[in-house]
Amino acid sequence: SLTLGIVGLPNVGKSTLFNALTRNEALAANYPFATIEPNVGVVPLPDPRLDTLAEMYTSEKTVPATVSFVDIAGIVKGASEGAGLGNKFLANIREANAICQVIRVFDDPDVVHVEGALDPTSDIETINTELILADLQTLEKALVRMEKEARTRKEARPALENAKRAKDILDSGRTLFAAQNEVDLDELRELHLLTTKPFLYVFNADEAVLTDEAKRKELAELVAPADAVFLDAKVEAELLELDDPDDVQELLSSVGQDEPGLHALARAGFHTLGLQTYLTAGPKEARAWTVPKGATAPQAAGVIHTDFERGFIKAEIVSYDDLVEAGSMQAARAAGKVRMEGKDYVMSDGDVVEFRFNV
C-alpha cells in the first residue's frame, strides 16, 4: 500500500507525532537522531458516513480506510553528501510515495532548535535543498549515460531532452513535483527521483499558533498548493491517554482545536497520496475501500478480491448522498438513483457499491 514518509529537522516533534500515530510508547528524546529505524504507523481515515451506513444496514461493525506513515530517520544539512544519517534517509524516502514534513512552530526554550531559531521557510528550504541535491547527483550520472545513448539512437533524444529540462528545474532550486507542467515525470520514473513526490506539511504548533487564524493562514499559504495540517504533537499524544470523550473535547478546545489533529492528518495524507474511497455495506460490516483517483469499477472490485476484478460483470452504484436522502437502497432504486455501471466506469468518492461478478 502507499505510504507517506515523515521527515523533518531534528527536534521538530517527529517522534512525538509518530508515537501518537502508532500509539506506542517509544521514547521521544530531546536528542537529534532519536529516530533511527523506519517504522510504519497505520491510522484510520475518519469517515462518519460509515456510521450512517452501519445504522441503515444494521451492520455489526464499521471498517474505515487507513493511511500509512513511515517514520524516516532525521535529516540535517549535508544529508545528500552522506552526512549524519544521510544515505539511510535518502534510501528510506525513495520508498515512500509522498513526503510528510513536520515543521516546528512551537515555542519552547527547553527544546533546542537545531538551526538556532524557529524559521519555517528555512526549514522547508533545508529539506528541499537536500532532496534537490540528491536528485541532481542521480540525474548527472544518468545524463552521461543518456547523452551517449542519444548519439547512437535518435529515439533516445526526447528522453534526454526531458532529463535536461529536469536538471534545469533542479538547478533553479525548484522541486520536480512543483514543476510537473514543465517536465514529463513519467519518463523519469525509473530514476526514482525524490523531488517528484508530493509533499504534505504538518506544522507542529503550540496554542499561540493554533488559535491565531492569521498566522495559520500565512503558514498554509507558504506551502500551498500542498496540504497543511496544524496540530500540537504533545497534545495529540496526551489525547490518546484520555478515555472520557468530554476530557478529549476539553483538551482540544483548550488549544483551540475542534477535532484531533490526527484526523486532519489522515485526511490530508489520503488526499496527498491521490486516494479516494468507495463504500460497501451489509449486515456484517459497513466499509470504506481505498482506490487511486481515476480507478475504474473493475479495478475497484479488485481491491476487495482479485477474483472480483477478473470476473467483473457490472457494478450497482448509488452515491452516498442519494442513498441517505432516499433512506434505503430499496427507496433509492425506486427513485431511479441506482445505476448499473460497466467496466469503463470511473469511480467517484463516496460511491456505495455492490459488484456483480462471475467466479
Question: Contact residues for ligand GDP (CB under 6 A)?
Answer: 8, 10-16, 28-30, 34-35, 74, 106, 108, 111, 204, 206, 232-234
Strands 199-205 and 98-105: parallel
Q: Is 111 annotated as a binding residue?
A: no
What CA dihedral angle connects 143, 144, 145 and 147, to 10 degrees? 80
> Shortest approach of ligand GDP to residue 275 CB, angstroms?
26
Q: Residues with Cβ < 8 Å from 214, sequence gap 6 or more?
A: none
Q: State in angstroms the smallest separation of the CB of 241 from ligand GDP.
A: 14
Q: Does the annotation list 58 as a binding residue?
A: no
User: What phi-psi label fits residue 16: left (phi over 0), alpha (psi between -120 and 50 degrees) or beta?
Assistant: alpha
Output the smallest distance, CB 5 to ligand GDP, in A: 13
Measured CA to CA, the distance from residue 310 to residue 320 in angstroms comes to 26
74 vs 86, beta carbon nearer ligand GDP: 74
Q: Report the DSSP pairing between strands 275-281 and 285-292.
A: antiparallel
Q: Which is nearer to ligand GDP, 27 or 359 (CB)?
A: 27
12 is in an annotated binding site: yes
Q: Is 6 exposed, middle or buried (0-12, 13-18, 19+ CB in 10 A)?
A: buried
The CB-of-44 to ligand GDP minimum distance in angstroms stands at 22
The response to whether 148 counts as a known ligand-binding position is no
Residue nearest to ligand GDP (CB): 13
Q: Cβ closer to ligand GDP: 117 or 359?
A: 117
* Residue 113 vs 267, nearer CB to ligand GDP: 113
How far apart CA 228 and CA 226 sit, in angstroms, is: 7
Residue 196 annotated as lining a ligand binding site: no
DSSP, res 188 = G
Phi, psi of 271 (to 5 degrees): -65, -45
Is 11 annotated as ligand-binding? yes
Going by C-alpha positions, the residue among 32, 5, 191 that lies closest to residue 115 is 32
Residue 71 CB, shortest distance to ligand GDP, in Å, is 8
Q: C-beta of 68: minimal distance to ligand GDP in Å?
A: 18
Give 135 or 232: the residue with its C-beta nearer to ligand GDP. Answer: 232
Which of 8, 64 has the CB closer to ligand GDP? 8
Binding residue numbers: 11-16
Residues contributing to the annotated binding site for ATP: 11-16
